[in-house]
Chains A and B, each alone.
Chain A
Amino acid sequence: MAVTARPKLDAQKLRADFPIFNELIHGKPLSFLDSAASSQKPRQVLDAMQRFYETSYANVHRGVYELAERATAGYEGARETVGRFLNAPSAREIVFTRNATEAINIVAYAWGMNNLGPGDVVLVTELEHHSNFVPWQYVAHRAGADFRMLPLDDEGGLRLDALDELAGTGRVKVVAAGMVSNSLGSVNPVEKLAAWAHDRGAIMVCDAAQGAPHRVVDVQALGADFVAVTAHKLCGPSGIGALWGRMELLQEMEPFNLGGHMISRVTFEDTSWGEVPAKFEAGTQAIAEAVGFGAAVDYITEIGLDAIEQHEHELAAYGLERLAELPWVKTYGPPADRRAGIISFNVDGIHPHDVAQILDGEGVAIRAGHHCCQPLMAKLGVAATNRASFYLYTVTDEIDRLVDGLHKVRKILS
């Protein structure tokens, strides 16, 4: 494949791929600033799934007939695509899951329950989304292991200097961190955390749900042992995600879900497990969604992850600049050059629900709440924030409409 330089993307042009932007919301054009929660879907992905259902659908891995072979080829082809996307050494290390949360639960249960015990330490960060926090908190408590949190600096960066002291003399077994914070947009130094984890003999688990849509995720360069991703945040369908794990770890692990397809041999007395990844894919999977996942990866890869990352940096810088014009708005998190396209903010004295509601009336969709990060909100000393988040189809006009909307919020509620 010829390598062409694609430093920029044309968001205005890309918007034509997304039918949702034809919708009017309360009679106004849509300004969709909630892509960190879930992204919109391009025609290419919707068509790929529709085409699969119309021409290739059957259950996978079972039938001997033509359609079953087409369906299997579609499903396994998607696994190859996702494997290449993450630069996995082998596509067999890609386990399809419902979402990134389920991917982390597989590791927490199937690895954690069998490898953690009293005296062990599980270390997560204060930034974590509940998806990479609650499973570890629960499994650590169940296993009698210590559960500790890496603190943040004033800009929402991880205090790597606190690692050694935090670990103390405990046996650190798991370090779990997100690649990009879904609330603050901070980009975490996963490579450094992974190196530290491995020095300590721990495994590194990276939640890349918020990373993979926006920047290159190379599991080998990260040096992590497990990486979780989800399709719905990167232009793919909901209901499908993936766990990448190092093969030797996946092979040692017990299964998580039990049932059809994940077996090798079943007798009245006992069952032996199938090979990785089948061992972790019990029951009929989200087949067409896997095909959609593959199509979404193709779509964003064609645009170029570097171009997407650059576009979002520019939007974050523009958004922070525009919000800085409003003295009654407080933003949280790192400067633009160290953050993905996510801005959390509060309007003086006005609850985020009211902000989001009034903005909705203007056709501007933002998220208001704790963003599944209650420990972080407690740290920031707020109950909730507003969050505007951007993606490859976001244009500066949408940010301008956010700012106009915030003036209206003030007019109504102050």
Chain B
Amino acid sequence: MSDQLYREVILDHYKNPRGHGVIEDADAEAEGFNPLCGDEVSIYVSFADDDETIEDVKFSGRGCAISQAATSMLVDMAKGRKATELAEMPKDELLEEIGIPLSPIRLKCALLGLGVLKIALHRAKGTPLPQEWAGLDELEFK
């Protein structure tokens, strides 16, 4: 089971995270915390000249392989897309990319970064927040 969970692509993102770091003077940012396991993720976004296309995304934080790898994959998925598009992106799109069966407790690890990104966009652009994410109400966002 664990062999399947920690498949190569997950390990690659975990060991070589894309966009790890901080954007000073970011156009949008937010921080999230999973009190169950102490995963922390901060996300920073800068927009292109049109002020809606995501030019760059970086993240910092610490946590389990699933939370960090999932956030790294999200960075790849987010660049070049519009804020409104990402706000509407269903969680399943990220989960398909992750491509492994996740137990309810690990699902929260996997979705932490996406939740933080949506909150950052919501604050900067007023984009809508998701109505319902299973279990995500237990996560804390700042």
Contacts and interface: CB of A to CB of B under 8 A. Distances in A.
Contact of A354 (B1, B62, B66): B66
Given A353-B109, A354-B64, A358-B6, A384 B1 contact: no
Contacts, number: 58
A113 interface: no
Contacts of B62: 351, 383
A383 B37 CA distance: 7
A357 B37 contact: no
B interface, how many residues as a size bin? 10 to 19
A289 interface: no
A357 B11 contact: no
B36 interface: yes
A351 B63 contact: yes
Contacts of A370: 38
Contact of B37 (A360, A362, A368, A413): A368
Given A357-B106, A412-B6, A413-B11, A351 B1 contact: no
B6 A384 contact: no
A32 to B, nearest CB: 17
A372 to B, nearest CB: 11
A370 B35 CA distance: 9
Interface string A20-41: 0000001000000000000000
B14 interface: yes
Contacts of A362: 2
B24 interface: no
Contacts of A368: 37
A369 B108 CA distance: 14
A352 interface: yes
A352 B1 CA distance: 17
Contacts of B66: 353-354
Interface in A364-380: 368-370, 377
B3 interface: yes
B64 to A, nearest CB: 4
Interface in B2-56: 2-3, 5-6, 11, 14, 36-40
B11 A351 contact: no
A358 B1 CA distance: 8
Given A351-B63, A354-B65, A370-B38, A413 B109 contact: no
A384 B34 CA distance: 12
B78 to A, nearest CB: 23
24 contacts: A351-B37, A351-B62, A351-B65, A352-B37, A353-B37, A353-B39, A353-B63, A353-B64, A353-B65, A353-B66, A357-B5, A358-B6, A360-B1, A361-B3, A362-B2, A369-B37, A369-B38, A370-B38, A384-B37, A384-B38, A412-B6, A412-B11, A413-B6, A413-B11
Interface of B: 1-3, 5-6, 11, 14, 36-40, 62-66, 106, 109
